[in-house]
Amino acid sequence: MQNYLDFEKGLAEIEGKAEELRALSRKNPDAPVEKEAAALDQKAHDLLRDLYANLDAWRKCQVARHPDRPHTADYIRALFTEYMPLAGDRNFAEDRAVLGGLARFDDRPVVVIGHEKGNDTRSRIEHNFGMARPEGYRKAVRLMDLADRFRLPVISLIDTTGAYPGKGAEERGQSEAIARSTEKCLAIGVPFVSVVIGEGGSGGAVAFATADRLAMLEHSVYSVISPEGCASILWKNAEKMKEAAAALRLTAQDLLKLGVIDRVIPEPVGGAQRHPDETISRVREAIASMLAELSGMAPEALRSARRRKFLDMGSKSLV
Amino acid sequence: MNWISNYVKPTINSLFSRREVPENLWRKCDECGTMLFHRELTDALMVCPSCQHHMAISPRARFEALFDGGAFVTVPVPEPLADPLGFRDQKRYGERMREARRKTGEHEAMLVGEGTIGQAEVVCAAQDFSFMGGSMGMAVGNAIIAAAERAVAKHCPLILFAAAGGARMQEGILSLMQMPRTTVAVQMLREAGLPYITVLTHPTTGGVTASYAMLGDVQIAEPNALICFAGPRVIAQTIRETLPEGFQRAEYLLDHGMLDMVVHRRDMRDELATLIRMLMSLPPRSHGDLPAPEAAAPAPLPEPAPEPAPAAKAPAAKAEAQPPRG
Ligand SMILES: [Zn+2]
């Protein structure tokens, strides 16, 4: 069962028709429909290709949030072996919005950290829809420390709407937790690569994405604020999210031009949600290649290059 | 205080003549509604005399009240690219910038100054809430980096006064990147073994709180300041949780372990002076310190001093800092 986005309505109709024809031919094998159905398939494929070659910023936000996109747990299963989840911030709680632990990537031990949104009602609640509380960032700090002490590269996967706007999260200092996590990102002396696989939402994303190398999937987004939030503040109207999305320049393509990210990982036609396995394997190649770029660098060299990278940001313009 | 004119002339002169405020202006307290005489309010450092509400104070007025004799030198901040996204909402970003500059007489939302507080060298950075809500864009990031670099060069503490609604959305991702950038600035201070003190003022929210504002070696707040990541309205709207009295205010954060102290603005200078002297292993401060600058006070001592005095003191000067006005 395919979940269609609003701009995929035309596509849904064509694919629905093709499906109807095939259902008809199953009941009535003599009906000469296969040729017609194949033509519809081709039409659907062309439409999909054209749609996804020209996604505007708001559509990219919709694709980035698509529930069928592979999530952190899917990547962990497919990319790593011997994954050993580690839990807890040693202070208050285990935050299931953030998954992480030890694992092997191409046999090499690494630390993996990522936001997990969940994929059905039960798991979404378990993972708080990928919105970390302070304990999630504090767990990440623990894991980054562990990586630093045992000289293991860190791989982070970014997929969050943002930090959790809740009373408890505020009381337990989520600002401080995010700030410390970002600070830890900039302090560790091991290779650190990160991939935005869906949504990179504000401070909750920065807390794990402040890496030596940051890649984004072709239709993922990374932004200071959600288009809806920006629209409600600057346009005083949350319905203006399309305008806000365009103005924020939050697409992978624009962020590459601004020098904020290092590479864009192409998604298969129709987006990661239609081809999770192919997408994950492209992410694997990107991670391997980014790690290779950092191999052999001494801890101090890694740290100072990482800091320099952020200090130098802001020299490129889109206008 | 005519010796001030011999001391860092350009800066002082420019600030004396900067904004002509009509002396007969009345202003209503944002909190209790009392009508306050403008002069009375500025003398009280913008703290309402009737309810003690701490209103926004401009970085210059704060620095005048903070540095010895009100004297400071501004630290230059590298100019970032203007409007790199070509951002436009209902107004163009460039237009909003021009308005903010006209309104405040300042170039950007953070001012950096250096001078002495209680005779100890210090660099201060202060965010200007009246300049586009103090929002953190590339210029604010550059200011914090410049402040940290200056403090490292001078080997002195950095005191940062935060006040912002959050990141500057008109700079998109580049405003978000000020979170890591300013964190690098904090790390420069840490590695140089220098104190970084943050003073959180009303309001300090969003990405500002989640980066440099919360990374202080010592964290101070002004009374009743709103300090949060997600604001009370956002929480009420999205999660529909009922929020307790005083939620996200300075005293509440103090109770929840997020701050070291809440300090009234009139006491801020003394508290900071005491604090930085200890953190810098300087001898205790002698009180009544309004130092005469060396250039203006070359008077030879009538008798040999038993030991070299750590700093010259103007004996009868009142310790209380009066913000100079032109
Ligand atoms: Zn009042």
Torsion of CA A296, A302, A305, A310, to 10 degrees: 140
Restricting to A residues 285-314, those with a Cβ less than 8 Å away from any Cβ of B are 307, 310-311, 313-314
Query: In the numeric block, which tokens belong to residue A272?
Result: 């990661």
- Can you spell out the DSSP letters for A106-164? TTEEEEEEEE---SSHHHHHHTGGG---HHHHHHHHHHHHHHHHTT--EEEEEEES-S-
Contacts of B89 in chain A (CB under 8 A): 234-235, 243-244, 247
What ipTM was estimated for this complex?
A: 0.95
Query: Looking at residue A21, what is its pLDDT?
Result: 87
Q: What is the CATH number of the domain that holds B96?
A: 3.90.226.10
Same domain, A17 and A159: no
CA B130 – ligand 1 centroid, Å: 19
Q: Is residue B304 part of a domain?
A: no
The helix/strand/coil state of A199 is: strand
Pairing of strands B110-117, B73-74: antiparallel
Please, where are the H alpha helices in chain A? Answer: 9-27, 34-53, 57-64, 72-79, 121-126, 134-149, 167-171, 174-187, 202-209, 227-230, 241-248, 252-257, 276-294, 299-311
For A203, the closest of B172, B210, B241 (CB atoms) is: B210
B85 touches chain A (CB under 8 A): yes
Same domain, A173 and A249: yes
| CB spacing of B180 vs A182 below 8 angstroms | yes
Same domain, A25 and A145: no
B295 touches chain A (CB under 8 A): no
DSSP A191: -
| CB spacing of B90 vs A235 below 8 angstroms | yes
Please answer whether residues B75 and B123 qualify as being in contact, where contact means their C-beta atoms are separated by less than 8 angstroms. yes
| CB spacing of B210 vs A247 below 8 angstroms | no
Give chain A's domain count: 2
Same domain, A141 and A256: yes
Pairing of strands B110-117, A81-85: unpaired
pLDDT band at B289 (very low <50, low <70, confident <90, very high): low
Same domain, A280 and A165: yes
**pLDDT per residue as tens digits for the range B103-128:** 999 999 999 999 999 999 999 999 99
A16 touches chain B (CB under 8 A): no
B94 touches chain A (CB under 8 A): no
Choose the mutation target among B183, B215, B242 for the interface with A, i.e. most A CBs under 10 Å. B183
Q: What is the CATH number of the domain that holds A304?
A: 3.90.226.10
Same domain, A115 and A232: yes
Restricting to A residues 224-263, those with a Cβ less than 8 Å away from any Cβ of B are 224-225, 230, 233-235, 243-244, 247-250, 255, 258, 260
Q: Is residue B93 part of a domain?
A: yes
Same domain, A27 and A95: no
Residue that wins the pLDDT comparison between B24 and A129:
A129
Give chain B's domain count: 1
The tokens 């200056």 sit on which residue? Answer: B150
Torsion of CA B246, B248, B250, B255, to 10 degrees: 80
Q: Is residue A302 part of a domain?
A: yes
pTM: 0.89
Query: Looking at residue B243, what is its pLDDT?
Result: 87
Domain residue limits at A31: 13-54
Q: How far is CA B42 from CA A4, B38, B59, B81, in A?
A: 60, 6, 13, 35
The average pLDDT across A160-187 equals 96
Q: Is residue B170 part of a domain?
A: yes
Q: What is the Cα–Cα distance from A255 to B176, expressed in whole angstroms?
A: 12
The average pLDDT across B291-302 equals 51
Same domain, A168 and A234: yes
Same domain, A44 and A70: no
Query: Looking at residue B290, what is its pLDDT?
Result: 56
Same domain, A66 and A36: no
Q: What percent of chain B has pLDDT over 90?
A: 72
Please answer whether residues B7 and B71 qualify as being in contact, where contact means their C-beta atoms are separated by less than 8 angstroms. yes
Same domain, A148 and A39: no
Please answer whether residues B44 and B52 qualify as being in contact, where contact means their C-beta atoms are separated by less than 8 angstroms. no
Q: Is residue A8 part of a domain?
A: no
pLDDT band at B23 (very low <50, low <70, confident <90, very high): low
Domain residue limits at B118: 57-286
Same domain, A106 and A152: yes
pLDDT band at B25 (very low <50, low <70, confident <90, very high): confident
CA B267 – ligand 1 centroid, Å: 18
Q: Tell me the shortest Cα–Cα distance from B188 to chain A, in angstroms.
A: 10
pLDDT-wise least confident of B48-52, B171-175, B287-291: B287-291
B164 touches chain A (CB under 8 A): no
Q: Is residue A319 part of a domain?
A: no
Pairing of strands A108-115, A221-223: unpaired
Torsion of CA A147, A152, A158, A160, to 10 degrees: -20
The tokens 């011997």 sit on which residue? Answer: A82
Mean pLDDT for all residues in chain B: 85
Q: How far is CA A1 from CA A15, A16, A70, A122, B43, in A?
A: 11, 11, 16, 19, 70
CB atoms within 10 A of CB B32: 12
pLDDT band at A256 (very low <50, low <70, confident <90, very high): very high
Q: Is residue A32 part of a domain?
A: yes
pLDDT beyond 50 at B325: no
